[in-house]
Structure 1
Amino acid sequence: MSLDQSRAPIYEALEEFKKMRVVPFDVPGHKRGRGNPELAALLGEKCVNMDVNSMKPLDNLCHPVSVIREAECLAAEAFGAAHAFLMVGGTTSAVQSMILSVAKRGEKIILPRNVHRSVMGAMILCGAVPVYVNPDCDHRLGIPLGMSVSAVKKAIQQHPDAKAILVNNPTYYGICSDLRSIVKLAHEHNMLCLVDEAHGTHFYFGEDMPVSAMAAGADMAAVSMHKSGGSLTQSSLLLAGPAMQEGHVRQIINLTQTTSGSYLLLSSLDISRRNLALRGKESFGKVMELADYARSEINHIGGYYAYSKELINGDSIFDFDRTKLSIHTLDIGLAGIEVYDLLRDEYDIQIEFGDLGNILAYLSIGDRKQDIERLVSALAEVRRRYQKDKTNLMTQEYIEPQVVVSPQEAFYAQTEHLPLLETSGRVCSEFVMCYPPGIPILTPGERITDEILDYIVYAKQKGCSMTGPEDADIEFLNVLKEG
């Protein structure tokens, strides 16, 4: 029986709750903003009135039986999933729950190395062992590509006991793997297929889009509704196919997700799902038009390369997400992070991220043509004012990791604190990454090489925001004790 996608059960319950004039002798302690007038002034009376605790009329996120349950059923139908779970710990929480649902200590998961740190965080939590499929790299653009089907086949042959294959689809840059073929391979070898679909919410609603995880037959997918779907930051969905036991997945989620789910986040998921179900096709059609217009204008400036479907090679670039406005900058003699900084500091334009050779301007349902024109104009001016010789610029080449021990073993091992440049040859016990995008350069258990150290030093010099280590300045790294 089809559900009514014009419904928003959590939002409707909150509207009814407001009429009840309930006297609060529960948490949160600000008591509808009365105890914190400055917060109420900042957020508004309506917002603080909706910041309430779980109670019978509003259901409970840990064990939903009424309005949250209805909202999850509507989300499952809208996304073509067997089950959907509302997540208030961001897609990080969804990714971790996905991995914890399928693997235990010592069990293997096949995955690309260019995954988000949340994937490796889950490996530390459950003790699973990564089997890396090294992605191809576009040497001109300096970006890692998708998982080639042949590389996945090889990993399966070498590790037939792996429990699952995890695919990052699409990548931050918009690159998509051959998801249907990878799902088929996984299932033929009694493995599950998990998809980090943080940047692919729109695949479920747009036309002429790459295939979504659920449509491709994947077993689980983590979807960032707050990225392209319009919900509040930190709200996300975990989708599951029919092979997954709903009760087991809920138990895993409840290991790490808060027992005090924010109704601001929950209602934003509910309202955003309704919006996408009713208007998503039209909305994302406009986003693609904007992105195509922006690419055309930027490529006319000269020096920049805003890439799209022309990159498709049928394998490691099986498809491309046209909503992603990814732009190569090295031909104007500037690293992506330098263009990122100039746009923010000189032109008051905040883009998503810059790496060593590219920038990403994230387009979604809230963007307007005049905003695109301002970005294009600023990029033209950056080229005119700051262009220089591109000699000696490093591209962001993929560095194949040397895994020595499992992430969990390395993270909890006895360590010592060494100056960065004295760590070559040692095994790292912490993360090092540029954020965004949050893809680790080093993860716990990997050997530190001269090539990696050169990359870290160069990225710091260019102004990349480096995160992960205990030492915030990344002058020191924690490594495993020897002997």
Structure 2
Amino acid sequence: MKKGRERRLQSGDAFWERQRCAPLYQALIQHAERRPHPFHVPGHKMGRSFDQEAKQQYLPLLPLDLTEISGLDDLHQPEGVIAEAQALAAEAYGAEETRFLVGGTTAGNIALILAVCRPGEKIVIQRNCHKSVYHGIILARAKPIYVVPAVDPATGVAAGLRREDVERTLQEHPDAKAVFLTNPTYYGMGIDLRRMAAVVHRFGIPLLVDEAHGSHFGFHPELPDSAMGSGADASVQSTHKMGTAMTMCSMLHLRGERINRSRLYQALGMIQSSSPSYPLLASLDLARRHMLIEGAKELDRVLPLLKRLRERLASLAWLALPQLTENGVYTTLDPLKLMLDLRTEALTGYQLQQILEQYAIFPELTSSQHVLLAASTGTSPEDVERVWQVLESIDLPPSSGGYRIRQTGGVLSSWFLREQVMAMHEALDADRFPIPLEESEGRIAGEMVIPYPPGIPLLVPGERIDQQALQWLLALKRQKIRFHGVHDPSLTTIQIVT
């Protein structure tokens, strides 16, 4: 199968003529231009009744905030302009079929798991996957078979899965119904998906990919190829993250016959709103057109800026960025992601975030040793120059104890190896009560503990809280990390199973 970008380069004039259209957006504009009399929801009636203070800001969008009326199709039974927009997206992204999502990649991940798993069935998943994958498993009452990710020794962060680990797991669990992995990671690290797909398909099951941070993949020669271009059966992309759609807009792409699409569409209909936002849907239509028609030129401008920034940052001894190496644990690296890896004891990631925000630079993600900057086609030369000016101006004291080269590997990797005492859904259905976090060692977790961002659970319901897990949770609590999934956001207490 040809890569997506090669396929598009070889496309004729008819392809580009089709892709310059935005049928859903254009239908909304045409309807608004009729100056209709709206006796339907929503109640603001195309902006005629709206908060006066905010009306000036919202008014350009409100005439497009419509519903399933004649000529505007229905997301859950697309036969008109939504069907046309999704078909154009499938063509652009190299899929056989594409579905628009207004519940984010979360909705797509959950729906895929509900489509491939029935209660009690196994699914192989990457242990550092997003919380939505765990939520899908809980709803499906499926049995997760974890594969621990490789850890990058240079930065200490979990990267992707090894093919040999997945193959061994499938040999041990031949009744698994699918493999679900994340590619790329939040930090932009990726694996060779083409080879991974070949391994998974030898067992006759689908490869499902959470590609939330890869909606731009395959649209420029300097970017990795997409999951669809690499043989995956399904991928879910957050078109709002690295693309230009509005927040919570994603796409689900499909290829092949290994996924029961009827079950998938049924699941999407159950977990997504029956009244989806038309401005959000139209932004997906426009984001697809923008990436094809304008995105490549914008990437031609942005990528050299980021390359130059990396070269300049290499002169700062207290800072490092991930580098592709021949024997590394990841084989692709998104050039739009800048993971600042701190190599000094004089500054934490949280302190660096505070410095950056003093100069109106707002990072995507921060941890004790890392700060992640996410660029895009919308990143300007002024943005990049400002980052360099601020980082270059930081003067670390020579008495800081020197620069550190982090020794990692077993510690972070073993974090993912908790004893699963009972199924997640059973733990959530059981009687639970809170106890002080300090007293929780040896108890069974009754809730999901999720540092956010990035939204990867460090502890899931039904796992035993061992000494290492407790120490990690206490350390995160001291750092005042935000948590999702817990009843006590301060993590002073934690829910356990009785």
TM-score (norm 1): 0.94
Letter in 1 for 2:495: N
Letter in 2 for 1:230: T
Is residue 268 of structure 1 aligned with residue 280 of structure 2?
no
Question: Any idea what SS the aligned residue of 1:46 has?
Answer: coil
| 1:177 corresponds to | 191
Of the three residues 76, 85, 101, the one matched with 1:62 is 76
Of the three residues 353, 361, 364, the one matched with 2:365 is 353
Query: Does the 8 Å CA contact 2:187/2:339 hold for their aligned counterparts?
Result: yes
Of the three residues 287, 294, 299, the one matched with 1:284 is 299
Question: Any idea what SS the aligned residue of 1:138 has?
Answer: coil
How far apart are the structure 1 equivalents of 2:107 and 2:143? 19
Question: Any idea what SS the aligned residue of 2:274 has?
Answer: coil
| 1:157 corresponds to | 171
Question: Any idea what SS the aligned residue of 2:371 has?
Answer: strand
| 2:118 corresponds to | 104
Of the three residues 397, 401, 419, the one matched with 2:436 is 419
Q: More deviation in 416-425 or 204-213?
A: 204-213
| 1:402 corresponds to | 419
| 2:461 corresponds to | 444
Taking a change above 3 Å as real, the CA distance of residues 333 and 137 of structure 1, as seen in their structure-2 partners, is farther
| 1:127 corresponds to | 141
How far apart are the structure 1 equivalents of 2:276 and 2:185? 29
Question: Any idea what SS the aligned residue of 1:325 has?
Answer: strand
Query: Does the 8 Å CA contact 1:91/1:198 hold for their aligned counterparts?
Result: yes
Superimposed CA distance per residue, residues 129-148 of structure 1 (whole angstroms, 9 cap, x where no aligned partner): 11111112123411012101
Question: Any idea what SS the aligned residue of 2:356 has?
Answer: helix
Is residue 478 of structure 1 aligned with residue 485 of structure 2?
no
| 2:340 corresponds to | 327
Following superposition, the deviation at residue 417 of structure 1 comes to 1.1
Is residue 459 of structure 1 aligned with residue 472 of structure 2?
no
Letter in 2 for 1:321: D
Letter in 1 for 2:205: M
Following superposition, the deviation at residue 43 of structure 1 comes to 3.0
| 1:341 corresponds to | 354
Query: What is the CA RMSD across the aligned residues, in angstroms?
Result: 2.2
Letter in 1 for 2:387: L
Of the three residues 364, 368, 374, the one matched with 1:362 is 374
| 2:60 corresponds to | 46
Is residue 10 of structure 1 aligned with residue 24 of structure 2?
yes
Following superposition, the deviation at residue 245 of structure 1 comes to 4.5
How far apart are the structure 1 equivalents of 2:450 and 2:158? 15
How far apart are the structure 2 equivalents of 1:458 and 1:178? 34
Following superposition, the deviation at residue 332 of structure 1 comes to 4.9
How far apart are the structure 1 equivalents of 2:227 and 2:89? 15
Following superposition, the deviation at residue 296 of structure 1 comes to 1.4
| 1:377 corresponds to | 389
Alignment of 1:312-323 (within 5 A): 312-313=326-327, 316-323=329-336
Query: Does the 8 Å CA contact 2:115/2:260 hold for their aligned counterparts?
Result: no
Question: Any idea what SS the aligned residue of 1:4 has?
Answer: helix
| 2:3 corresponds to | none
Taking a change above 3 Å as real, the CA distance of residues 308 and 39 of structure 1, as seen in their structure-2 partners, is farther
Which segments of 5 or more consecutive residues in structure 2 lack a partner in the other structure? 1-13
Following superposition, the deviation at residue 313 of structure 1 comes to 2.4
Of the three residues 94, 97, 101, the one matched with 1:87 is 101
Query: Does the 8 Å CA contact 2:345/2:403 hold for their aligned counterparts?
Result: no
Identity rate, percent: 34
| 2:267 corresponds to | 252
Query: Does the 8 Å CA contact 1:110/1:133 hold for their aligned counterparts?
Result: yes
Letter in 2 for 1:265: L
Question: Any idea what SS the aligned residue of 1:296 has?
Answer: helix
Which segments of 5 or more consecutive residues in structure 1 lack a partner in the other structure? none
| 2:244 corresponds to | 230
Letter in 1 for 2:433: E
Superimposed CA distance per residue, residues 283-321 of structure 1 (whole angstroms, 9 cap, x where no aligned partner): 3343332322221122212210022324x526x312222
TM-score (norm 2): 0.91
Taking a change above 3 Å as real, the CA distance of residues 394 and 383 of structure 1, as seen in their structure-2 partners, is farther
Question: Any idea what SS the aligned residue of 1:226 has?
Answer: coil
How far apart are the structure 1 equivalents of 2:108 and 2:394? 38
Query: Does the 8 Å CA contact 1:337/1:463 hold for their aligned counterparts?
Result: no
Q: Across the two proteins, how many residue pairs are aligned to each other?
A: 478
Question: Any idea what SS the aligned residue of 1:417 has?
Answer: strand
Question: Any idea what SS the aligned residue of 1:300 has?
Answer: coil
Superimposed CA distance per residue, residues 358-417 of structure 1 (whole angstroms, 9 cap, x where no aligned partner): 111001011012111111222233454899447999978230232222222222222121
| 2:320 corresponds to | 305
Query: Does the 8 Å CA contact 2:115/2:261 hold for their aligned counterparts?
Result: no
Taking a change above 3 Å as real, the CA distance of residues 427 and 35 of structure 1, as seen in their structure-2 partners, is same
Letter in 1 for 2:303: M
How far apart are the structure 2 equivalents of 1:56 and 1:353? 43
Question: Any idea what SS the aligned residue of 2:123 has?
Answer: strand
Question: Any idea what SS the aligned residue of 1:24 has?
Answer: coil
